[in-house]
């Protein structure tokens, strides 16, 4: 047994609780809460940890999501490690604060418990809430298990607080499927986390009377482009930092998949692969397994980091396949080909290839609707047909919709 294995303990916890436990292990200084389902479960666990003395932080219940994100933004500026989060329209209520957090290069770590955007009211998962930050300078990833949620949270502070990066990071966890389901999670020992995660040091950018700087003065056209370019460079550097941190995580805790950016399932010799994010991996993998039993050469790829997007790696990996079905748990009304957000990103990634796979867009599982094996079989037939004819008659399909 490795030291990590000797020291870790197994706990039956949900995805939300796993992130709350990560807050305790990471010794977070300021946490702000505001209730909205389903992310708010993380704050229920956080408040209990605070009440029981397992987490020493300023725990502030704000009066709105906007204030929730503003409070941690300012706490981060004076050098505090912070955490907050939201879901659905709550995330949108905070959007002004979310936007400036990236502009200010503050390493706020947030959890998005993915939820459909009202109206009409719906609690179930959709990815449009978190995806809204894709252009703003937030790092953004999707986790699919409670273990991955805990591990990714620990890495998120490390990556965000790296002075080469100093960007906020959102951890997306599918509402209900991940936020509320319990599994056995390996919880590492605090001493190992301390070894892995150094204290947040804002350096000469910290706001303190001993360092009387001015943060975010008016710059207008004189300087804005240079500042935007700096953020762009930080996001480019973030990709390398993510790789470094995953390697180190593996070294300390003995866990991790071959690539930080994506995860392949039964892709060896596959002709068709489905690509998606979050917990839809579960039913898709079940369907893939069943089709494999019948000799269908099909596989699945789960994208883990959406920002930064690992363009080169994902392009090379996907170039091995003939047909790709992108399953989006989101929509982008009026987008190119009326496709999902991930679909259009991937199609753009594949464009420079001399020999491009066929790419089809599937919209499925909106509002938390279950994606069933039958749906995956249906999608497979559509991709197969396109491969047989060599033609894409229709680029986008809504799967599992009545009427």
Partner 1 sequence: MATTVDLPQVKGVKNIPIEEMFTSGHRTCQGCESALVMRLMIKAAGDRTIVVGSTGCMYVANTTYYTTPWVVPWMHTQLGSSGSAATGTAAGLKALMRKGKIKEEPINVIAFCGDGGGADMGLSAISASLTHPEYNHLVLLYDNESYANTDIQVSGMSPWGANSTFSPPGKARRIMNTRWKKNMVGMLAAGHPECRYLATACASYGLDMTNKVRRALTIGGPTFIHSIDPCPKGWDYDPKFSHELGMLAIETGLWVLYEIIDGELILNGPSRAIAKGMKRRKPVEEYLTRQGRFAHFTPEDTKYVQGKVDQMWERWWGPGVIPVNIKES
Q: Which residues lie near partner 1 (CB under 8 A)?
A: 27, 29-30, 56-58, 60, 62-64, 66-67, 70-80, 82, 96-97, 100, 199, 207-209, 211-219, 222-223
Nearest CB to partner 1, comparing residues 221 and 269 = 221
Nearest CB to partner 1, comparing residues 53 and 209 = 209
Nearest CB to partner 1, comparing residues 99 and 181 = 99
Nearest CB to partner 1, comparing residues 65 and 162 = 65
CB 87 within 8 A of CB 39: yes
- What does each C-alpha distance from 359 to 150, 343, 350, 396 come to in angstroms? 33, 8, 9, 10
> Can you tell me the distance from the alpha carbon of 251 to that of 254, in angstroms, rounded to the nearest whole number?
6
CB 30 within 8 A of CB 75: yes
Count Cβ atoms below 10 Å from residue 143 Cβ, excluding itself: 26
| Shortest reach from residue 163's CB to partner 1, in Å | 17
| Shortest reach from residue 48's CB to partner 1, in Å | 19
Three-state SS across 185-210?
EEECCHHHHHHHCCCCCCHHHCCECC
> Can you tell me the distance from the alpha carbon of 350 to that of 390, in angstroms, rounded to the nearest whole number?
17
| Shortest reach from residue 140's CB to partner 1, in Å | 22
Nearest CB to partner 1, comparing residues 2 and 64 = 64
| Shortest reach from residue 53's CB to partner 1, in Å | 13
Sorted by sequence, the CB contacts under 8 Å of residue 17 that are 6+ apart come out as 41, 42, 45, 146, 182
CB 131 within 8 A of CB 178: no
Q: Any alpha helices (H) in 52-145, and if so which ranges?
A: 65-77, 88-93, 95-103, 128-131
Phi, psi angle pair for 149, to nearest 5°: -60, -45
| Shortest reach from residue 161's CB to partner 1, in Å | 13
| Shortest reach from residue 279's CB to partner 1, in Å | 33
Residue whose structure tokens are 């039958």: 374
| Shortest reach from residue 100's CB to partner 1, in Å | 6
Is the peptide bond between 106 and the residue preceding it cis, with omega within 30 degrees of 0?
no
| Shortest reach from residue 93's CB to partner 1, in Å | 12
Nearest CB to partner 1, comparing residues 223 and 398 = 223
| Shortest reach from residue 216's CB to partner 1, in Å | 4
CB 117 within 8 A of CB 93: no
Nearest CB to partner 1, comparing residues 158 and 347 = 158
Nearest CB to partner 1, comparing residues 210 and 268 = 210
Nearest of 195, 199, 230, 376 to residue 296 by alpha carbon = 376
Is the peptide bond between 155 and the residue preceding it cis, with omega within 30 degrees of 0?
no
Nearest CB to partner 1, comparing residues 31 and 192 = 31
Nearest CB to partner 1, comparing residues 81 and 239 = 81
Q: What is the DSSP string of 131-155?
A: HTTTTTT-EEEEE-SHHHHHHHHHH
CB 242 within 8 A of CB 140: no
| Shortest reach from residue 81's CB to partner 1, in Å | 9
């Amino acid at each position: 047994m490795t030291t990590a294995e000797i020291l870790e303990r197994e706990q039956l916890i949900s995805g939300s609780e796993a992130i709350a436990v990560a807050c305790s292990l990471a010794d977070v200084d300021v946490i702000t809460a505001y209730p909205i389902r389903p992310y708010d479960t993380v704050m229920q666990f956080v408040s209990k940890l605070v009440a029981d003395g397992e987490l020493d932080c300023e725990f502030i219940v704000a009066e709105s999501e906007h204030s929730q994100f503003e409070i941690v933004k300012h706490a981060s500026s004076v050098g505090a490690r912070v955490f907050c989060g939201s879901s659905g329209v709550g995330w949108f209520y905070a959007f002004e604060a979310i936007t400036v957090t990236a502009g200010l290069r503050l390493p706020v770590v947030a959890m998005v418990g993915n939820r459909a955007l009202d109206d009409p009211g719906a609690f179930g998962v959709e990815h449009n809430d978190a995806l809204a930050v894709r252009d703003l300078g937030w790092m953004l990833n999707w986790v699919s298990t409670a273990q991955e949620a805990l591990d990714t949270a620990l890495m998120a502070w490390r990556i965000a607080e790296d002075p080469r990066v100093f960007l906020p990071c959102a951890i997306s966890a599918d509402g209900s499927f991940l936020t509320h389901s319990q599994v056995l999670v390996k919880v590492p020992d605090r001493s190992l986390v301390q070894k892995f995660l150094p204290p947040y040091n804002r350096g000469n950018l910290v706001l303190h009377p001993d360092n009387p700087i001015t943060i975010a003065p008016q710059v207008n056209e004189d300087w804005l482009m240079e500042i935007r370019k700096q953020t762009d460079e930080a996001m480019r550097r973030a990709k390398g930092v993510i790789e470094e941190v995953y390697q180190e995580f593996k070294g300390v805790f003995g866990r991790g998949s071959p690539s930080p950016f994506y995860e392949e399932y039964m892709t060896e010799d596959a002709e068709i692969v489905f690509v998606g994010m979050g917990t839809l991996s579960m039913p898709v993998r079940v369907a893939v397994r069943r089709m494999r039993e019948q000799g269908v050469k099909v596989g699945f790829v789960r994208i883990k980091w959406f920002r930064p997007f690992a363009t080169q790696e994902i392009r090379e990996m996907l170039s091995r396949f003939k047909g790709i079905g992108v399953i989006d748990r989101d929509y982008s009304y009026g987008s190119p080909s009326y496709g999902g957000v991930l679909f259009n990103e991937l199609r753009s990634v594949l464009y420079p290839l001399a020999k491009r796979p066929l790419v089809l867009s599937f919209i499925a599982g909106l509002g938390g609707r279950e994606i069933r094996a039958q749906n995956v079989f249906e999608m497979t037939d559509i991709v197969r047909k396109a491969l047989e004819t060599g033609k894409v008659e229709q680029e986008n399909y809504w799967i599992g919709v009545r009427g």
